[in-house]
Amino acid sequence: MTVQPGRRLKTYIMILIMVTVTPLGDIFLRKGMAEIGAMASWAPADVFHFFFRAFTSPLIWLGIALQLAFFIAYLLVLSWADYSFVQPVSTAIAYPLIALLGRFVLHESVTPLRWVGVVVICLGVFLVGRTQVKTTEDAI
Amino acid sequence: MITNSIFYFFVVVVGTAGEMCVSRATKAIGEVHEFTPRSIARHVGRAMTVPWMWLAIFMMAVAFFSLLGMLATAKASFVYPSTAVSYGVGALGGKFFLKEQVTAERWLGVAVICVGVVLVIIGKG
């Protein structure tokens, strides 16, 4: 089963956009939530207060804006490509980028074993990325 | 710990289920061919008329709130890799819920990703 070159190209362009905005958004969300700290309890008032503080943080909204950009790209790409292809490729490549940003921007400690895990995730992503974009019966 | 475990469950299970609902909704309205703002807006608007899309939005909102909950106390370099267990859940959902053909090569890739996730989780410093 062959895949049209145009469809493959537009799939990869969308994935490039998605893997760029995701790690940046994630880092903003972490930075914003770290400033707020742990939720005091599951009491409704505490839960409300916790999320109220979250949604009045500019950093959180910046993170949300980038997540929204990811979501729109996801919405579009899923209209022609398989979920089981798009989901691993579009989101797993972001993991090493998140780890790098976490280490060097947020100054988080990342152990050697965790870096190995990140590399293994990349290998898995490579394997998934080699498969065809669409494999369901109504494919091209 | 218990709080983060609850958040973790919502992120992985409810979040992945929501994404599968997005796929079902968007497949129902057809492929995007034009990438003009008007075409994109029309496509998003049509997606909003599909009930699966609203279910997806609700589930993904729950997952997002839960992600914020985890991020309040856990490192980004831990939270995001640890929730990658959803790849396994997603591949299973793709096969059984969306009836996609998940090839042996894709299964292998997903399995390797999951091994990496385990290393990330046990490699906490």
Residue A138 lies in a domain: no
Print the domain residue range for B40.
Answer: 2-122
Residue A139 lies in a domain: no
Query: Which structure tokens are listed for B36?
Result: 């003009």
Contacting residues of A for B18, CB less than 8 Å apart = none
Print the domain residue range for A53.
Answer: 5-129
> Lowest-confidence range among A104-108, B24-28, B34-38, B115-119?
B34-38
Rounded to an integer, the average pLDDT of A95-123 is 90
Taking only the tens place, the pLDDT of each residue in A125-140 is 777 766 665 555 544 3
End-to-end CA gap in chain A: 8
Q: Select from B103, B105, B119 the Cβ nearest to the Cβ of A117.
A: B119
Contacting residues of A for B73, CB less than 8 Å apart = 37-38
Q: How confident is the model at residue A1 (pLDDT cuts 50, 70, 90)?
A: very low
Contact B66, B7 (CB under 8 A): yes
Q: Select from A83, A125, A128 the Cβ nearest to the Cβ of B23.
A: A83
Cα distance between residue A115 and residue B113, in whole Å: 13
Number of domains in chain B: 1
Residue A137 lies in a domain: no
Nearest-CA distance A87 → chain B (Å): 7
> What is the largest distance, in Å, between two alpha-carbon atoms of chain B?
49
Listed in sequence order, the residues at least 6 apart from B25 whose beta carbon sits closer than 8 Å to its beta carbon are B47, B50, B52, B53, B56
Cα distance between residue B31 and residue B24, in whole Å: 12
Number of domains in chain A: 1
Cα distance between residue A74 and residue A125, in whole Å: 17
